[in-house]
Chain A
Amino acid sequence: MTHIPGAEPQSRIDVWWWLVALVAGLVVLLSVLKPDPYWHLILFVRDGMAITVLLTAVSFVFVLLVGMLGGLGRLSKNRAINLVATLYVELVRGVPLLVQLIWWYFAFPVVIKQIGEWINFAPLANYQANAILLAIVGLVFCYGAYMSEIYRAGIQSIPKGQMEAARSLGMSYFQGMRHVVLPQAIRVILPPVGNEFIALLKDSSLVSVVAVADMTRRGREYMATHFNPIEVWTMIALLYLVMTLFSARMVNWIERRTKFER
């Protein structure tokens, strides 16, 4: 058989999966060899882990939507829409996420209550803060601004002729966006979008300061009764790593599957 250099079919399995396996293996190994405290800790934080995953997944779906609207708004020729979108992006990305989360949890409910009292509307006046809901709002509000810029850049990277061709065939602006420009833009922005997903997963740990019992907060609670910071935070770090490394591989897999030549 003749061998042509460079003509080997690309390996179907992404070799970096071994890193995910390695870290996951380490977690298993520690749990088996030293169930106390590692396995006990995992059992203790697993509900927090579920919250972290849920929070990230739900927030990210909305981030994708808000980002799309924000990105289209930034590109809109309508002055008012453009102004609103630009203000949103510029203001939100200038305030630390931690400060924003604290604002949504502590300040926002008070604002709502005061408005409720002011207009004499009981459902608002008696508003009770829902920590998880407000955490999602905070994450989406902040990450949506970053995502808007990613969408904007992605849409702008698609040659103008694509939209012109769509319009010349009688498609409306939105039909052209939906069927021609966005499908191409989304493939372009997959790497930075994947990046945002992983960043969001990590930043979701900040919600532990606003009464959400995520993995980080559960770790702190465990440490508070067992006084073993090295073991607790090493294991929590490893658990985050398993999730982020796994996500990175998934993003890579999607990228490879949706690739097309320009």
Chain B
Amino acid sequence: MTTTPIIQIENVHKRFGRVHALRGVSLDVRKGEVFVIVGPSGSGKSTLLRCINRLEEYNSGRITVDGICLDDAQNINIVRQEIGMVFQSFNLFAHLPVLDNLMLAQRVVRKRNKQEAKDTALSLLEKVGIPEKAQAYPSQLSGGQQQRVAIARAMAMNPHIMLFDEPTSALDPEMIKEVLDVMLALAREGMTMVVVSHEMGFARAAANRIIFMDEGQILEEAPPGQLFANPKHERTKAFLSKVLQV
């Protein structure tokens, strides 16, 4: 892990009509860091994550990814190619088999030839542990399998950064582990990861830093051990006591 920030967020504000979802958020994510965002629902953590690849446009402030400022990014698609994203609801392309889900963007965006895209796809399916499902349609997979395919799909673009938006929130308890295992393996390989999640076990095992967000602001930032052991804010304490109990 180096100290170069790969994502710089400076005083970002985001409003949805009357709702002030992000109120001046600033943070740096370093290369190779695993950065976990926790907070109650409605605290703006997903919005913040979605601002990083501009699925959501912020109203003011500045976000720089890989040295490119998102405001004056001529072509946001170029920036997005380097940022993988995993969604809560998987969002696999429903009309395509697993293999084609992994190949589509490689072919269309990265302009790889068919064989190259297929090889990449198959080796990633191997890596996430479901090579036998290459020809299956998303609807034929369990939630855990779908999410692992979604991670592989994002990885197929060889991103520098991976964003995870509550990747295990829509999963049955017994499927959560198989997804977290894949994420842990990624973290160990040195991938820069920004993870919105309530999986405290994952945070403890993999995170370099955790931030706690509430009402569109960052209340606290610390390494996981420190945040869990002695949170500074009352709000953080109350939240953690509820989450950690379960």
Contacts and interface: CB of A to CB of B under 8 A. Distances in A.
A261 B139 contact: yes
Interface residues of A, number: 21
A194 B166 CA distance: 41
A167 B85 CA distance: 10
A120 interface: no
B53 A168 contact: yes
B105 A171 contact: yes
A166 B105 CA distance: 8
A161 interface: yes
A159 B55 CA distance: 15
B92 to A, nearest CB: 7
B73 interface: no
B109 interface: yes
B108 A179 contact: yes
A164 B93 contact: no
A179 B109 CA distance: 11
B203 interface: no
A157 to B, nearest CB: 12
Interface in B133-164: 137, 139-140, 150, 153-154, 157
B3 to A, nearest CB: 27
B128 interface: no
A130 interface: no
A156 to B, nearest CB: 16
Interface residues of B, number: 27
B37 interface: no
Contacts of A94: none
A180 interface: yes
Given A179-B104, A261-B139, A169 B94 contact: no
B231 to A, nearest CB: 32
A165 B140 CA distance: 19
B93 A168 contact: no
Interface in A161-193: 161-162, 164-172, 175, 179-180, 183-184, 187
Interface of B: 53, 55, 77-78, 80-81, 83-85, 87, 89, 91-95, 104-105, 108-109, 137, 139-140, 150, 153-154, 157
The 4 closest A-B pairs by CB, nearest first: A170-B81, A169-B105, A161-B91, A261-B139
